[in-house]
């Protein structure tokens, strides 16, 4: 009965989405206030129905209702409760339901935090989000209904894919989807502005906190995914340029370009057409990501739903949403063009270079991701791998980093080289010295690359530090001075430093990780990177839904025991799938990572040992970036909503704001 209730609530949600889309948009076009005012209640009621639907599916998983086909395919009575709940989004139907629920939550947030906006504008934003909601609800109801019953339910379920039975995977998809779907708000604002023909600075100001918030979730989601791959796939890799990773990375790159471009549009009214295009692109790439993952058009470990009918539907949806909005852009954007002037050496220019570089980088990733597909439709076969991405992507990041340091410093409108040079020369020399020293001290094939990477990261940290110091130095006392600067300024500094931290982690771990594949039996020792790994014991254990062999490995540094690691080789009983659980000793400057391979006979096992320096910095940097974004969003400018754009305070800090 409860699954039917869920199905019914889903249909009701669709009805509400129709109300939310049709009346407000029509009302906004005809100036009908009563119709426009339907937007908020419709969106809220839709959320209630979506919550009922989602709860119904969660309930089916918790009580092991295997008469529901989706539950039977993805759960099992032996599956621990937490994974029974996360199994809800472990496959196609449920993850779409999660997608639409998150869209409902974002829409609800817009209804709550939009009272300062013109009614007509809000009606349009909610109407556009309602249209997106209609598309996805139809998709679920027509092709991917999770509530379909099986007339002959199996006695037990087929279990959740063991790869997904992990805490990281419990939170990674919701986080990532929250980021993806969050761009729908920026999209809604952009379309509403295009429809209303008012692409102004107010629009940019309203969009900014929403865009940054979505970006924060996406940043965390991508970092979580990378971290999950690192410890769960059992061989210490953390980024594969896999199509699905690219699908999340492309909206991130565009979103990063967007938040920087929005800063220029909000403060100076420039790049409006470019900013609105980026807003459309960010959400389009989120949809494209959904399409790439869900349709199976590109093969990947992630593509657990390969069904051409669904692919055609998503493609049609994509065509309508993206094609429609780009057509609207082509039609309306030229009309809203107002030029304002800025010098060649100004913050505007640096921001423009920044968003262009990020967009080109996104284009390179997009090309690499879909190139195999294009070649295949033309009758060939080719695969594009990490070498392409690394050789295209990294050269684009170098100028980006250089521009970042100057851009955060530069004044709006026009600035002088010598003023910048006076402050930034310390950062220039500092980072050059660090680079040269590193290049001289380090050895190995990656020494130059590491030195370059760390020098670039130092450039960011030093220039941000000098900026911070100059800004906070003047004033009666430190605390008062610190308080006069808006949170968005600190957010920007934090996020930029986070970016630097990620770069450091990336170059060091890529160039100085070492590993050893070793044949070991209990008592055997192996040396790696100054550590001694001793296999002390191998025994079998029984988990709730798997059997495992566990190896205990003691790690010594000289005569001192550093840690004892446990790594398992698991066989999940229902799907008969082997999985490796790595044993990891995390540390700020290095991870020790072991994973158990195959039995080789005579009590010997193959064991893989890894030494991964600075690998934590990758995710630490992402955390900094996300915190920076949160700081920027909580800036009081966005809370004191009536504050004028000409407020002296906000002009002073102008460019410094919200630029993670």
Interface residue list for other proteins (CB under 8 A): 233-235, 273, 277, 280-281, 284, 291, 295-299, 306, 308, 311-312, 315, 318-319, 322-323, 326-327, 329-330, 333-334, 370, 372-374, 376-377, 379, 381-383, 517, 519, 578, 597-598, 600, 606
> Exposure of 530 by Cβ count < 10 A (0-12 exposed, 13-18 middle, 19+ buried)?
exposed
| Smallest gap from residue 283 Cβ to other proteins (A) | 13
Could you tell me where the DSSP H helices lie in 333-385? 347-377
Cα separation, 499 vs 474, whole angstroms = 27
| Smallest gap from residue 281 Cβ to other proteins (A) | 8
| Smallest gap from residue 48 Cβ to other proteins (A) | 35
Of 277 and 410, which has the nearer Cβ to other proteins? 277
Helix axes 167-196, 272-295, angle to 10 degrees: 140
Phi, psi of 496 (to 5 degrees): -65, -40
Of 1 and 330, which has the nearer Cβ to other proteins? 330
| Smallest gap from residue 327 Cβ to other proteins (A) | 6
Angle at 459 between CA 456 and CA 462, to 5 degrees: 150
| Smallest gap from residue 271 Cβ to other proteins (A) | 14
Residue count of the chain: 660
Of 142 and 482, which has the nearer Cβ to other proteins? 142
Of 171 and 373, which has the nearer Cβ to other proteins? 373
Look at residue 627 and give its three-state secondary structure.
helix
| Smallest gap from residue 168 Cβ to other proteins (A) | 17
Of 150 and 307, which has the nearer Cβ to other proteins? 307
Of 291 and 459, which has the nearer Cβ to other proteins? 291
Of 166 and 564, which has the nearer Cβ to other proteins? 166
Q: SS3 letters for 275-335?
A: HHHHHHHHHHHHHHHHHHHHHCCCCCCCCCCCCHHHHHHHHHHHHHHHHHHHHHHHHHHHH
Neighbours of 269 (CB within 10 A): 16
| Smallest gap from residue 17 Cβ to other proteins (A) | 24
Look at residue 395 and give its three-state secondary structure.
helix
Of 154 and 308, which has the nearer Cβ to other proteins? 308
Of 298 and 658, which has the nearer Cβ to other proteins? 298
Cα separation, 633 vs 206, whole angstroms = 11
| Smallest gap from residue 377 Cβ to other proteins (A) | 4
| Smallest gap from residue 301 Cβ to other proteins (A) | 8
Structure tokens belonging to residue 492: 């920007």
Query: What secondary structure does DSSP assign to 448-474, as a single string?
Result: HHHHHHHHHHHHHHHHHHHHHHHHHHS
**Which residues, other chains included, contact 281 with Cβ-Cβ below 8 Å and sequence gap of 6+?**
254, 258, 359, 362
Of 5 and 384, which has the nearer Cβ to other proteins? 384
| Smallest gap from residue 575 Cβ to other proteins (A) | 11
Burial 560-596 (b: 16+ CB within 10 A, else e): eebeebbbbbbebbbbeeebbbbbbbeeeebbbbbbb
| Smallest gap from residue 596 Cβ to other proteins (A) | 12
Phi, psi of 473 (to 5 degrees): -75, -45
Structure tokens belonging to residue 157: 């379920």
Angle at 586 between CA 582 and CA 588, to 5 degrees: 155
Could you tell me where the DSSP H helices lie in 31-118? 33-36, 39-62, 69-74, 81-86, 92-112
Structure tokens belonging to residue 373: 């597909």
Of 272 and 485, which has the nearer Cβ to other proteins? 272
């Amino acid at each position: 009965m409860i699954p039917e209730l869920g199905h019914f609530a889903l249909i009701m949600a669709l009805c509400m989405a129709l109300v939310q889309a049709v009346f407000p948009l029509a009302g906004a076009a005809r100036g009908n206030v009563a119709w426009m005012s339907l937007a908020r209640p419709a969106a809220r009621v839709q959320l209630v129905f979506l919550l009922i639907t989602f709860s119904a599916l969660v309930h089916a998983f918790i009580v092991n209702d295997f008469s529901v086909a989706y539950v039977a395919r993805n759960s099992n009575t032996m599956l621990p409760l937490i994974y029974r709940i996360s199994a809800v989004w472990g496959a196609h139907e449920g993850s779409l339901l999660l997608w639409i629920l998150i869209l409902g939550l974002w829409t609800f947030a817009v209804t709550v935090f939009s009272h300062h906006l013109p009614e007509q504008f809000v009606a349009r934003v909610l109407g556009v989000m309602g249209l997106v909601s209609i598309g996805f609800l139809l998709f679920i109801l027509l092709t991917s209904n999770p509530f379909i019953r099986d007339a002959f339910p199996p006695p037990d379920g087929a279990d959740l894919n063991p790869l997904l039975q992990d805490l990281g995977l419990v939170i990674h998809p919701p986080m990532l989807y929250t980021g993806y779907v969050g761009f729908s708000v920026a999209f809604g604002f952009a379309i509403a502005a295009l429809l209303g023909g008012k692409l102004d600075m107010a629009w940019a100001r309203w969009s900014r906190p929403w865009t940054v918030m979505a970006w924060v979730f996406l940043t965390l989601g991508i970092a979580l995914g990378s971290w999950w791959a690192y410890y769960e796939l059992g061989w210490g890799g953390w980024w594969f340029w896999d199509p699905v990773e690219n699908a999340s990375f492309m909206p991130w790159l565009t979103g990063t370009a967007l938040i920087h471009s929005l800063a220029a549009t909000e403060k100076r009214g420039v790049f409006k057409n470019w900013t609105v295009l980026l807003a459309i692109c960010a959400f389009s790439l989120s949809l494209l990501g959904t399409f790439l993952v869900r349709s199976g058009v590109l093969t990947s470990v992630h593509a657990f739903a390969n069904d051409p009918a669904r692919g055609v539907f998503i493609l049609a949806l994509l065509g309508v949403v993206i094609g429609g909005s780009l057509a609207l852009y082509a039609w309306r954007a030229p009309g809203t063009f107002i030029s304002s002037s800025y010098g060649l050496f100004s913050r505007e220019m640096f921001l423009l270079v920044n968003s262009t570089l990020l967009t080109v980088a996104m284009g390179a990733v997009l090309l690499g991701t879909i190139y195999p597909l294009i070649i295949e439709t033309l009758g060939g076969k080719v695969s594009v791998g990490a070498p392409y991405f690394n050789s295209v992507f990294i050269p684009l990041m170098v100028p980006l980093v250089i521009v970042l340091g100057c851009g955060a410093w530069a004044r709006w409108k026009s600035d002088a080289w010598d003023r910048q040079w006076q402050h930034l020369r310390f950062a220039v020399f500092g980072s050059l010295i660090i680079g040269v020293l590193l290049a001289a001290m380090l050895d190995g094939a990656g020494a130059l690359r590491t030195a370059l990477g760390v020098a670039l990261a130092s450039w960011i940290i030093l220039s941000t530090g000098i900026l911070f110091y100059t800004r906070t130095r003047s004033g009666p006392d430190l605390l008062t001075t610190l308080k006069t600067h808006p949170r968005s300024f600190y957010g920007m500094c934090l996020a930029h430093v986070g970016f630097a931290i990620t770069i450091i982690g990336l170059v060091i771990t890529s160039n100085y990780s070492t590993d050893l594949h070793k044949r070991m039996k209990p008592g055997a020792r192996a040396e790696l990177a100054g550590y001694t790994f001793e296999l002390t014991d191998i025994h079998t254990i029984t988990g709730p839904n798997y059997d495992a062999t566990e190896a205990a490995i003691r790690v010594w540094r000289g005569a001192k025991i550093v840690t004892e690691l446990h790594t398992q080789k698991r066989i999940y009983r229902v799907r008969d799938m082997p999985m490796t659980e790595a044993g990891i000793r995390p540390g700020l400057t290095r991870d020790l990572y072991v994973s158990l391979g195959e039995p080789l006979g005579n009590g010997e096992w193959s064991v893989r040992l890894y030494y991964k320096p600075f690998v934590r910095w990758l995710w630490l940097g992402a955390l900094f970036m996300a915190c920076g974004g949160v700081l920027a969003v909580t800036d009081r400018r966005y809370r004191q909503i009536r504050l004028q754009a000409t407020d002296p305070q906000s002009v002073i800090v102008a460019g410094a704001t919200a630029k993670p």
